[in-house]
Amino acid sequence: MKRKVLSAVFKYSQLVILIVILIILSLTSKEFLTWDNISNVVMQQMPFMLIISMGMTLAILTKGIDLSIASNLALSSCVAAYFIKDGKVFLGILAAVVIGALVGAVNGVLITKARLEPFIATYTMDMVVRGLAYLFMSGTLFYGFSAGFCSIATGSVGPISNLLIISLLLFAVLFFALRKTTYGRSVYAIGCNINATRLSGINTGGVVFSIYVINGLLAAVTGLLYIARLNAAESTIGSDFTMQMMAATLIGGTSFSGGKGGIERTLLGVLIMVFIANGMNLNGVSSLLQDAVFGVFIVISLVIDKFGSKYSANL
Amino acid sequence: MKRALSLALIASMVLGAMFTGCSQDGVAASTPAETSSEASAKENTGKKNVVLILKNLTNPMWVEVKEGAEEAAQKAGVNLTTLAPVQSENNDEQISEIEQSISKGVDAIVIAPADSSGIVPGVEKANAANIPVVAINTKIDTSSGAKMAAFVGVDAYTCAVEISEKLSAMMDQTGEVMILEGKAGAQTSVDMVKAANDTFKKYSGIKVVASQTADWNRAKAMTVTQNLLQAHPNVRAIFAANDEMAMGAVQAVAQAGKEGKILISGNNAIEDAKKAVDNGQLALTMDSNNHGLGYTGVETALKLINGESVDEMIPIPTTLYLKK
Amino acid sequence: MNKVKTAFSKLPGILYGLIVIGLIFSVVAQGFFTVSNLLDLAKSSGLLILVSMGMSLCILSGYIDMSVGALMSLSGVVTALCLKAGTGLLVAVLAGIVTGLAVGSINGALIAYEKFDFWVVTYAMMGICQGVALKLSNGNTIAGFKTDFRFIGDGKILGIYFIIWATALLCLVMTLLCNKTKFGYNIYSIGGSYQCASLAGVNVRKNLFFVFVLSGLLASLSGIMLAAKSNSASPIGGQGYEFDAIAAVLIGGTSFEGGKGKITGTIIGAIMMRMIRNGLNLVGFSPYYQTFLMGLIIVAIILIDVVNQHRKKIQATRRVYK
């Protein structure tokens, strides 16, 4: 019995870490465990990070990486805002989706057809797309969107925010696709061994291409949600997101060597990160130490993971 | 053979990209007619060259500064090149930009240093090349011998004192206040936060309950403010070191249903912040006269080129932007 | 003639790209082909070259070190604090170097010996180093050093910057290390296949440990020079270097798979990245255009390299089947 419990604990170590964090934070700050605070974190802050981190996870599952999600988010949202500020909401949303998918497609082509390393392909695309965003905006910002558009991000259905609904819907769709369809299986297989997968008849090029297009779409959606939430669009948005997406995936336990992990793990990773950030603000942790705190948490999750696998291996 | 072909490809790509850039009006930072062949021609005809180095070109504030500078340059018939670090407020890039300007041959440098002391090696080089250096918005540390021909602007500390005094007055000198800091380590942020703390300390009824960084960033400020409002639900005012963060805080306050109950102050008077002040969402911001800053900076540089003497400290009138 | 031809074909293809771009800039960018600019360019490239060489070792072995940027900042801060506290130049520089060695050793121990995932370890170290740098410096830039330290950054010997001499020396050392020593061969074999190298009798863990120690050492040297060059140690001075270094390595022709590529390619890749930035600035492109163009140019270079490799492969196959 004890062994069963312990092995389960170590298998879902991220969940344990999350619970531990929640307990610690509720002890150190009396405002933490309130409905207001928890709902604020889960319903207002988590959704943004979740959607794009899922994209990063998809790329990492295929033993790749996507460093261009943040700038894709910026460009698609800025172009969308150009139309939305004049009231053409539908056109704006369409523009965002098209651009997001287009950038993703370029990534896909560079990686599958030109055989570039995902790192360098998405790194350079990140520069190109960010540059395009800068050029498009030329230092200005668009603001003042219609209340109808903003309510996509600020509104809620009952007690649940639209943001949470949208992000969980996307999560459900992707989760189903990854875990229950052959498409999902091939994603994992590609991450394990792309050559073997290709030789067994799966169109690896097509699957990888689709992953990056999906990332682009996820970036566009998040971009739209951001400009609706902030009621403003600027070219600099998201410049710190790439690191956060990587951290969420890492903490969640998806391996960067591909083929292991999943977006359900990333969900835990995102939750851990937003709660840590929330806790640091609540407890007034000095701005200087915040990077270090994240680093320490990553190390802790590593250690627990390591001991966990060692322990369950010895059972 | 194929290798030569592929090289020709890169070459034509690069050249093509450059000339597209050069012929774009108003988007490339150098005045539209400046391709390098023409520039060297101008060298011979004696048209003066001034370079403007800013902290970045992605914050609307600096774009306004650039526009003011370009106006002054155009009026005087002078070439203006605007440079800025790609990574916002990167000191090393600014030093490189000074060095490159010296190699290229400029007559004056107008710079908003990201780091007052860090920029010194670049300034010393300019001094050695007899190129006058005018600092705008942030001073250059002259304690070790670097020469700053003039400083144009009001320093961040003084601005922040004025803002926080007005905020304190609007709060009737009582209540809790939160501070949203800029990027950790940025000179302007350090100065402004210090000024705010010094001012609030004067009033016994005011208590600073939180001071966290939001990296000058709108989205981050929204998240940080959301969190801080949880910890301090009774806060009366928020002092944000710039308008970007203030606008993020505005969104967070609205989402928490506390619109109108919390006084928020910003700085820089960017367009949407001014609108927010007009309709009551933002309590006040500081019109740092960005356009005037750029204009006077270049104007001063031109005076120096022509051998006129200028004041060492040239304050730019700044005004609080309040609801009418 | 054939000997000359084979010698030329051994040079990394990227070198041609560098020369072409250099020539283009000499024509269109006023001030590019001046002694002062080339010296400045070499000086600023030096910082990136050092970090990239360390990164090159990691990538050749099949790993990555994400902590180098933050380590640069930390080493600079440590050295600066020592100088401010009144210790001599030598002690301060040693302190910075020791910081690099220490962090590198921790990385190496955790990754090589404890077999933790390298992404997670180096990513976490990045956060920790950054946090420590911020805390030690209290978020401020530490500025204002005496001439003896500043000499490291701005001093000239025989008309050439000290940084250039130091970097050139280190380049030579690292190139010899990679190509002529057993350590170098071991790295390539580990990168080729961890298991095969281990079975072949290579002490994989020890070699890997040293790879990370070297990466840390080079990062700290770069950080100290950065502080000297800017007369100030910023706790965020090294931010972004890790990505630039990886890009330089990849542009230089090293593959992420490990075991393929040359360190000379990395050096050229690093120079190229700085050269493009330098040239674009001189032409007068706004930062808006620069980001975009940098990306395009790098993509073009890599694509051409890929095409070349592909072509070579096909030629080689044709030769075999003739």
Identify the pLDDT of residue B5. Answer: 46
CATH number of the domain that residue B190 is part of: 3.40.50.2300
Domain-embedded: residue A227: yes
Residue pointed to by tokens 């995936």: A249
Domain extent, residue C203, equals 45-259
**B246/B286 Cα distance (integer angstroms):** 12
Rounded Cα gap, residues C231 and C143, in angstroms: 6
Interface with chain A: mutation pick from C14, C120, C272, highest number of A CBs within 10 Å: C120
CB B272 to CB A141 under 8 A?
A: yes
More confident site: C151 or B95: B95
3-state percent helix, strand, coil for chain C, nearest multiple of 5: 80, 0, 20
Range of the domain at A50: 12-314
Residue A131 lies in a domain: yes
Residues B99 and B207 reside in one and the same domain: no
Is C113's Cβ below 8 Å from some Cβ in A?
A: no
Q: In 3D, which of A229, A232, A237, A211 has the Cα closest to residue A164?
A: A229
Please report whether residue A1 resides in a domain.
no
- Asked whether the predicted pLDDT for residue B42 surpasses 70, the reply is no
- Give the whole-angstrom CA distance, residue B308 versus residue B299: 11
Per-residue 3-state assignment (H helix, E strand, C coil) for chain A:
CHHHHHHHHHHCHHHHHHHHHHHHHHHHCCCCCCHHHHHHHHHHHHHHHHHHHHHHHHHHHCCCCCCCHHHHHHHHHHHHHHHHCCCCHHHHHHHHHHHHHHHHHHHHHHHHCCCCCHHHHHHHHHHHHHHHHHHHHCCCCEECCCHHHHHHHHCEECCEEHHHHHHHHHHHHHHHHHHHCHHHHHHHHHHHCHHHHHHCCCCHHHHHHHHHHHHHHHHHHHHHHHHHHHCEECCCCCCCHHHHHHHHHHHHCCCCCCCCCCHHHHHHHHHHHHHHHHHHHHCCCCCCCHHHHHHHHHHHHHHHHHHHHHHHHHC
Q: Whole-angstrom Cα distance, residue C322 to residue C317? A: 9
Which residue is closest to B125 within chain C, CA to CA? C154
Q: Tell me whether residues B141 and C24 touch, CB distance under 8 A.
A: no
**Cα nearest neighbour of A226 on chain B:** B219
How much is the pLDDT for B136?
92
Residue of A119 and C53 predicted with greater confidence: C53
What's the pLDDT tens digit per position in C40-96? 899 989 999 999 999 999 999 989 999 999 999 999 999 999 998 888 889 999 999
Residues of B in contact with A41 (CB under 8 A): 227
Of the listed ranges B1-15, B40-54, B273-287, the least confidently predicted one is: B1-15
Q: How far apart are the first and last CA of chain B?
A: 72
- Same structural domain, B42 and B143: yes
Both B244 and B294 in a single domain? no
C291 touches chain A (CB under 8 A): yes
Chain C residues lying within 8 Å of A286, measured CB to CB = 135
Q: Is A119 on the interface with C (CB under 8 A)?
A: yes
pLDDT band (50, 70, 90) for residue B27: very low
CA-nearest of C242, C306, C316 to C71 is: C242
Q: What is residue C6's predicted lDDT score, i.e. its pLDDT?
A: 58
Torsion of CA B158, B160, B162, B168, to 10 degrees: -150
| A-chain residue closest to B87, CA distance | A239
Identity of the residue in A144, A236, A290 whose CB atom sits nearest the CB atom of B272: A144
Distance CA A92, CA B252 (A): 25
pLDDT tens profile B114-139: 888 889 999 999 999 999 999 998 88
Q: Are B176 and B209 in contact (CB under 8 A)?
A: yes
Does the distance separating the beta carbons of A139 and B62 come in below 8 Å? yes
Task: Report the domain count for chain B.
Answer: 2
Which one of A30, A37, A127, A230 would you mutate to disrupt binding with B, by most B Cβ within 10 Å of its Cβ?
A230
Is residue C321 in a domain? no
What integer pLDDT is reported at residue B3 of this predicted model?
A: 46
Q: Does B96 touch chain C (CB under 8 A)?
A: yes
- Report pLDDT for A207: 94
Interface test with B, best of C150, C231, C242, C274 (most B CBs within 10 A): C231
Domain count, chain A: 1
Q: Min CA distance, B223 vs chain C (Å)?
A: 20
Contacts of A133 in chain B (CB under 8 A): none
- A142: tokens are 């668009």
Mean pLDDT, range B47-53, rounded to an integer: 91
Count of domains forming chain C: 1
Domain range for B72:
32-154+290-317
The pLDDT, as a whole number, for residue B17 is: 47
CB A55 within 8 A of CB A103: no
Listed range (A58-72, A92-106, C258-272) with the worst mean pLDDT? C258-272
Domain CATH for A281: 1.10.3470
Cβ distance A139 to B215 less than 8 Å, yes or no, reads: no
- The crossing angle, in degrees rounded to 10, of helices C147-154 and C204-229 is 110
Q: Round to whole Å and give the CA distance between A165 and C94.
A: 55
**Do B260 and B210 sit in the same domain of this protein?**
yes
Which of C114, C131, C138 lies at the smallest CB-CB distance from A291? C131
Q: Which residues of B touch A31 (CB under 8 A)?
A: 230-231, 233
Contacts 24+ apart (CB under 8 A), C197-203: none
List chains touching C (3+ CB pairs under 8 A).
A, B
pLDDT tops 50 at residue B39: no
Closest residue of C to A255, CA-based? C117
* Residue range B236-248, pLDDT digits in tens: 999 999 999 999 9
Q: Which of A236, A276, A294 should be substituted to probe chain B, the one whose Cβ sees the most B Cβ atoms within 10 Å? A: A236
Those residues of chain C that have pLDDT short of 70 are: 1-12, 322
Do residues B162 and B276 both lie within one domain?
yes
Q: What average pLDDT does range A178-189 have in this prediction?
A: 92
Confidence of residue B43 (pLDDT cuts 50, 70, 90): very low
Chain A: closest CA distance from residue B4 (Å): 20
pLDDT recorded at residue A309:
67
Q: Kindly report, residue by residue over A144-163, the tens digit of the pLDDT.
A: 888 888 988 888 888 888 99
How far is residue A65's CA from residue A107's CA, in Å, rounded to a whole number?
11
HSE at residue A150, side-chain half, CA atoms within 13 A, is 14
Chain A residue nearest residue C64, CA to CA:
A256
- How far is residue C50's CA from residue A15's CA, in Å, rounded to a whole number? 41
The interface pTM score, or ipTM, of the predicted complex is 0.85
CA distance C246 to chain A (A): 8
Within this chain, do residues B127 and B243 fall inside the same structural domain, yes or no?
A: no
Hey, which residues 161-200 in chain B have their CB within 8 Å of chain C?
183-185, 187, 190
Cα–chain-centroid distance for residue B260?
29
Cross-chain residue pair C294–A255, CB shorter than 8 Å:
no
* Average confidence score pLDDT of chain C: 87
Res B9 pLDDT > 80: no
B231:A282 CB<8 A: yes
Quick one: B276 and B166 in the same domain?
A: yes
For residue B302, the surrounding DSSP H or E stretch is helix B290-305
One domain for residues B195 and B171: yes
Task: Kindly report the pTM of this predicted structure.
Answer: 0.86
Residue A122 lies in a domain: yes
A198 part of a folded domain: yes
Does the pLDDT of residue B24 top 50, yes or no? no
Identify the band that residue B32 occupies on the pLDDT scale cut at 50, 70 and 90.
Answer: very low
Q: Give one DSSP letter per residue of C112-134, joined into a string.
A: IIS---HHHHHHHHHHHHHHHHH
In this predicted model, what pLDDT tens digit does every residue of B230-286 receive, in sequence order?
889 899 999 999 999 999 999 999 988 888 899 999 998 888 899 999 988 999 999
A277, A282, A287: residue with CB nearest B184:
A287
Closest by CA position to C155, among listed C31, C37, C278, C39: C39
Nearest to A116 among C117, C123, C302 (CB): C302
Q: Give the number of other CB atoms < 10 A from CB of residue C95.
A: 20
Q: Are strands B108-111 and B133-136 parallel, antiparallel or unpaired?
A: parallel
In a domain, C208, yes or no: yes
Quote the CA–CA distance of C82 and A93 in Å, as a whole number.
55
**pLDDT of res. C322:** 61
Q: Is A29 on the interface with B (CB under 8 A)?
A: yes
- Going by pLDDT thresholds of 50, 70 and 90, the confidence category of residue A308 is low
Interchain proximity C243–A123, CB inside 8 Å: yes
Q: Pick from C134, C138, C303: which is nearest to A291 by CB?
A: C134
Find, among B18, B95, B101, A125, the residue nearest to C285 by Cα: B18
Among B3, B14, B100, select the one facing C31 at the smallest CB separation: B100
Q: Which two tokens stand for residue C170?
A: 């280190």
Q: How many CA atoms lie within 13 A of C280 on its CB side?
A: 30
Q: Are residues B161 and B280 in the same domain?
A: yes
pLDDT of the residue at C5: 61
Enter the DSSP assignment of B27.
Answer: S
Q: List CB contacts (< 8 A) between B235 and chain A.
A: none
- The Cα of B261 is separated from the nearest Cα of chain C by a number of Å equal to 33
